[in-house]
């Protein structure tokens, strides 16, 4: 894979990614087979230079294996009420343990995503069920974004979020 | 074993699936799916709306993962897929197009979501993702017993009219479906006409739609069930489906389609025939997401039996008729004559100023009235009508039974001075309680 320069995501994007939005993570194996897992929240470091998502290790076994091998990762963030969607990719992903404050982030994320979905007719028990995971099973996947795309449905879908990057 | 019922529930649910693919260089891509469709136990189809990264990837590397969440149990599934081909026409495409129009309308994406194709994938494996789940709720309908209760009454019906009534009664009683109608196909005119309905302010018997129009018309044309879970104007029927008035015709030969003004869910299931479908069973509800795959399964099973029974009625008529005693010639009625006009350009018949019926059913009535007027006949058989050139059936396999149901219902609803009374299998009596003056409006115009 060619190397790409890191991109800087502005505060609006960071707010979006760390809010109560749907988050899904993908990677791929050497055989060309993709892997996928839903994430339970996101941390972006102060400079916007490093993105971390939280996953349930038993659910993410294939993805963690692929990330460890290829370091390639893609994460899609989507706000169900507005369909606003963005995807961020990186090529230096690592699997890590959670840092201080991450458990609180996961907990806040669950509450925020429940609040987002309740007006759409989902029940809290349904949302909490598919976001459920014992704390000790949570792992983090962290990466430097080198591409980011607008994926809101429409003609502009697939365009880079940051001109010149992606 | 693939948990296909759960997959169908997931694909029907409001939680969008997530599609992961890989570019040839290994770069992953994750995207939300607009629409997925269960095809069979080995295949499903995903909507292709934009030439996006997912599309580019699967054309180069056919492997994909579809992540799904069950809408009731919250169980997550990952379906490993291999892209096989894209269809841009035909039953799967049309079914998805109708459904997508509903989704687009529901999500404020009308004009953005347009189906370019149905991407067909082979299901390689379904992984049940470990996690917390909720108990599955008890369904409102227990489908197999409901289907059994509905089906076992159908073969006992003696004719097409009671068959359709029994079908609609059964849907209401056993499936809680309160708004339903049956339209039969007129293959010669590529139109469908309503012969029976339930749950509407007016029966709409005799109302017509064009093949290809709305969920019913698409179901008939593509011979595939069409089910939409959200209201969409793209597939809605106007209150009056007009056929474009021809010159020289009286202005109003249209009967309004009886459907709900604001349907939430609709399901149209073609009634199978030998070649074309015999017609379409249509059910709807003001509630969104009312009809599930299980409803579709049940209705498809029911109409298979309805179609077979229609063919049985036809075969019985071919075999012969019940013996019928000779009837004395009935006296002509007395009173003020009623003018009955017939317009040959669309075979429409008017009783006084009121439009009654058109098409083949109009020809049938006109033939009966001519023979009644000229010969004093009141007794007729379906079999002789089938052979009568004045009826102008499009072909020998035509569903004459359905046209007689239509005529019978229209006369009864209008409380007309002309009625049809069944006198035996494939036989009926014409009851005329007022003198008639028959006027052929197009005579001499040809």
Tell me the CATH number at B388: 1.10.10
Same structural domain, B171 and B56:
no
Q: Under DSSP, is residue B154 helix (H, G, I), strand (E, B) or coil?
A: helix
Please count the other Cβ atoms lying within 10 Å of the Cβ belonging to residue B139: 10
Among B107-121, B205-219, B393-407, name the most confident range: B205-219
**Using CB atoms, which residue from A35, A120, A157 is nearest to B65?**
A35
Lowest-pLDDT range, A154-163, B182-191, B381-390? A154-163
For B418, the token pair is 């002309």
CB–CB contact A26 B25 (8 Å): no
User: What is the C-alpha separation between B165 and B197, in angstroms, rounded?
Assistant: 8
Examine residue A1 and state whether it is found in any structural domain, yes or no: no
In whole angstroms, give the CA distance from residue A131 to residue A107: 10
**CATH code, B71:** 2.30.110.10
Taking any CB pair shorter than 8 Å as contact, residues of chain B touching chain A are: 14-16, 18, 20-22, 24-32, 34, 49-50, 52-53, 61, 63-65, 67, 69, 71-74, 76, 78, 80, 107, 109, 112-113, 129-134
**What is the distance in angstroms between the Cα of A100 and the nearest Cα belonging to chain B?**
24
Count CB pairs under 8 A between chains A and B. Answer: 122
Query: How far is Cα B27 from Cα B24, in angstroms, rounded to an integer?
Result: 7
| DSSP conformation letters of B239-284 | SS----PPTTS-S---------SS-SEEEEEEEP-SSS-SEEEEEE
Residues in chain B with CB shorter than 8 Å from the CB of A149 are 53
- Range(s) of the domain holding residue B100: 4-128
User: Is B333 among the domain residues?
Assistant: no
Give how many domains chain A has, as a whole number. Answer: 1
Residue B446 has pLDDT above 50, yes or no: no
Rounded mean pLDDT of A11-16? 94
**Residue of chain B whose alpha carbon sits nearest to that of A126:** B74
Average pLDDT over residues B68-97: 94
User: Do B295 and B381 lie in a common domain?
Assistant: no
Residues with Cβ within 8 Å of B176's Cβ and at least 6 positions away in sequence, in order, are: B140, B141
Give the integer Cα–Cα distance in Å for A127 and A40: 11
Q: Do A122 and B14 touch (CB under 8 A)?
A: yes
Which has more confidence, B337 or B425? B337
Distance CA A129, CA A115 (A): 14
Residues B96 and B192 in one domain: no
Please give the pLDDT value at position B241. Answer: 39
Model confidence at A1, in pLDDT bands (50, 70, 90)? very low
**Least-confidence region, from A20-29, A91-100, B245-254:** B245-254
User: Which of B374, B390, B354 has the alpha carbon at shortest distance from B438?
Assistant: B374
User: In DSSP terms, which residues pair with B28 in a beta bridge?
Assistant: B22
Which residue from A70, A75, A132 is facing B26, i.e. has the nearest CB? A70
Q: Cβ(B366)–Cβ(B344) under 8 Å? A: no
| Position B385 in a domain | yes
Q: What is the radius of gyration, based on Cα positions, of chain B?
A: 26
Residues B111, B48 share a domain: yes
User: Is residue B183 located within the same domain as residue B106?
Assistant: no
pLDDT band of residue B393 (cuts 50, 70, 90) is confident
- Give the CATH number for residue A26: 2.30.110.10
Q: For residue A80, what are the domain limits?
A: 11-150
B194, with CB counted inside 10 A (0-12, 13-18, 19+), is buried
B272 and B343 co-located in one domain: no
Confidence band for B324, pLDDT divided at 50, 70 and 90: low
Q: What is the pLDDT of residues A64-112, one digit of tens each?
A: 999 999 999 999 999 999 989 999 999 999 999 999 999 999 999 999 9
Count of CB atoms within 10 A of residue B328's CB? 6
Is it the case that residue B201 has pLDDT exceeding 90?
A: yes
């Amino acid at each position: 894979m060619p190397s790409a320069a890191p991109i800087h995501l502005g505060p609006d994007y960071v707010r979006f990614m760390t809010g109560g939005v749907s988050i899904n993570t993908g990677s791929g194996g050497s055989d060309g087979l993709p892997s996928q897992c839903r994430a339970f929240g996101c941390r972006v470091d102060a400079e916007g230079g490093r993105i971390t998502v939280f996953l349930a290790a038993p659910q993410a076994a294939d993805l963690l294996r692929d990330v460890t091998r290829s370091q390639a990762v893609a994460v899609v963030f989507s706000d169900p009420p507005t369909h606003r969607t963005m995807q961020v990719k990186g090529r230096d992903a690592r699997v890590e343990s959670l840092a201080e404050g991450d458990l609180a982030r996961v907990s806040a994320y669950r509450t925020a995503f429940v609040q987002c979905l309740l007006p759409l007719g989902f029940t809290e028990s349904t949302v909490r069920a598919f976001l459920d995971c014992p704390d000790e099973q949570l792992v983090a996947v962290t990466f430097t974004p080198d591409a980011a795309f607008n994926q809101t449905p429409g003609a502009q879908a697939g365009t880079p979020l940051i001109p010149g990057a992606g | 074993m693939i948990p296909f019922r759960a997959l169908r529930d997931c694909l029907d649910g409001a939680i969008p699936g997530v599609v992961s693919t890989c570019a040839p260089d290994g770069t992953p891509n994750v995207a939300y799916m607009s629409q997925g469709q269960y095809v069979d136990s080995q295949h499903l189809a995903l909507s292709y709306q934009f030439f996006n990264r997912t599309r580019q990837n699967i054309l180069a590397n056919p492997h994909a993962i579809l992540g799904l969440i069950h809408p009731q149990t919250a169980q997550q599934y990952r379906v490993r897929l291999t892209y096989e081909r894209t269809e841009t026409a035909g039953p799967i495409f049309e079914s998805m197009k109708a459904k997508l129009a509903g989704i687009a309308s529901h999500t404020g994406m009308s004009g953005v979501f347009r189906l370019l194709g149905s991407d067909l994938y082979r299901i390689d494996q379904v992984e049940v993702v470990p996690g917390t789940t909720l108990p599955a709720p008890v369904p409102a309908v227990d489908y197999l017993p409901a289907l059994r209760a509905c089906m076992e009454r159908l073969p006992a019906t003696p004719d097409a009219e009671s068959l359709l009534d029994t079908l609609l009664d059964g849907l209401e009683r056993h499936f809680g479906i309160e708004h339903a109608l049956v339209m039969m196909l007129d293959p010669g005119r590529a139109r469908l006409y309503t012969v029976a309905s339930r749950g509407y302010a007016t029966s709409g018997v005799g109302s017509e739609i064009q093949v290809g129009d709305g969920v019913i018309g698409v179901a008939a044309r593509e011979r595939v069930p069409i089910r939409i879970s959200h209201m969409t104007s793209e597939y809605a029927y106007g209150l009056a489906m007009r056929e474009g008035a021809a010159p020289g015709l009286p202005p109003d030969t249209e009967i309004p389609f009886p459907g709900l003004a604001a349907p939430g869910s609709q399901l149209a299931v073609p009634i199978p025939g030998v070649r074309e479908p015999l017609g379409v069973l249509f059910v709807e509800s003001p509630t969104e997401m009312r009809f599930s795959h299980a409803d579709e399964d049940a209705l498809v099973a029911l109409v298979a039996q309805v179609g077979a029974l229609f063919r049985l009625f036809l075969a019985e008529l071919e075999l012969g008729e019940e013996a019928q005693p000779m009837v004395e010639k009935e006296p002509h009625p007395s009173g003020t004559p009623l003018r009955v006009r017939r317009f040959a350009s669309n075979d429409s018949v008017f009783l006084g100023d009121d439009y009654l019926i058109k098409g083949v059913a109009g020809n049938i009535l006109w033939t009966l009235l001519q023979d009644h007027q000229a010969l004093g006949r009141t007794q007729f058989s379906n079999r002789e009508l089938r052979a009568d050139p004045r009826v102008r059936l499009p072909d020998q396999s035509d569903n004459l039974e359905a046209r007689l149901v239509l005529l019978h219902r229209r006369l009864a609803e209008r409380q007309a001075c002309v009625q049809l009374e069944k006198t035996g299998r494939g036989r009926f009596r014409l009851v005329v309680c007022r003198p008639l003056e028959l006027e052929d409006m197009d005579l001499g115009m040809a």
